Structure 1
Amino acid sequence: MEPSYRIVHQGGKSFVDVTALAAPLTTERDAADLVAVSWECETSLLMLPHEAFADEFFRLRTGLAGAVLQKFGNYGLTVAAVIPGWYERNDRFTELALESNKGRTFGVFDDRSAAEAWLLK
């Protein structure tokens, strides 16, 4: 998976802003590829668009969200997901997002500005 991305520098911090992926995340390997991009760019902060997530990610029983989030956490990434209307997906995903937003590893946001503010705080 070769993502398109740009590096955003602001307030003394930098993050990788993934603008497009050839295909959505469907495996732990895909998550590892994003970890590698983050390391190459020398930042642990990553912003992902809603297109980065396969439908399976939102169906928690598939285990994909858990595997992907575990991979990000194991490698110390802070990941902001821009998923407009995330709270309308399903009850289980909404619960996951609400709980995740309390921490600093994975956050889900309606828009880029909220995601960026969270990443850079």
Structure 2
Amino acid sequence: MRECISQAIEQQAKWIAIPVTRLPESFFDLRTGVAGLWLQKLVNYRLGLAILGDVEPWQGKSKALDALIVECNRGKSCWFLPDLASLQERLAKTGQ
């Protein structure tokens, strides 16, 4: 994650997009704290996070994760989206 943040800052990016397939399994087990740590770091650096791809394999296994996905998608700094085109569309709609 540090490398992603460094690259984003260097490129003056406002968002980091990560394919769901590149995330460790521990990201989706909220008890590990990995997702919370990543999200907090990105908030601290004022960077948005887009998780791109199908998260259905993890949905329904944890009420906490399901709630996180819903809340993130309602917010402005972290989104779970199916693909890059969806991210581009959402960024355009929000003026980012």
What TM bracket, shorter-length normalisation? Answer: 0.7 to 0.9
Find the counterpart in structure 1 of residue 71 from structure 2: 99
TM-score normalized by structure 1? 0.67
SS of residue matched to 2:74:
coil
Q: Write 1 or 2 for the structure with the bigger share of helix.
A: 2
Gaps of 5+ in 1: 1-30
Superposed CA RMSD in Å reads 1.5
Native 8 Å contact 1:59 1:93 kept in 2: yes
Native 8 Å contact 1:81 1:115 kept in 2: no
Find the counterpart in structure 2 of residue 61 from structure 1: 31
Post-superposition shift, 1:83? 2.5
SS of residue matched to 2:80:
strand
Identity percentage of aligned residues = 26
Matching of residue 77 in structure 1 with residue 47 in structure 2: yes
Counterparts in 2 of 1:1-121, with a 5 A limit? 31-84=1-54, 86-89=55-58, 90-91=61-62, 92-120=64-92, 121=94
Larger RCO: 1 or 2 (CA < 8 Å, sep 6+): 2
Instruction: Give the direction of change, closer, same or farther, for the CA distance of 1:107–1:117 in structure 2 (3 Å limit).
Output: same
Q: 2:2 is aligned with what amino acid?
A: A
Q: Write 1 or 2 for the structure with the bigger share of strand.
A: 1
Q: 1:72 is aligned with what amino acid?
A: L
Gaps of 5+ in 2: none
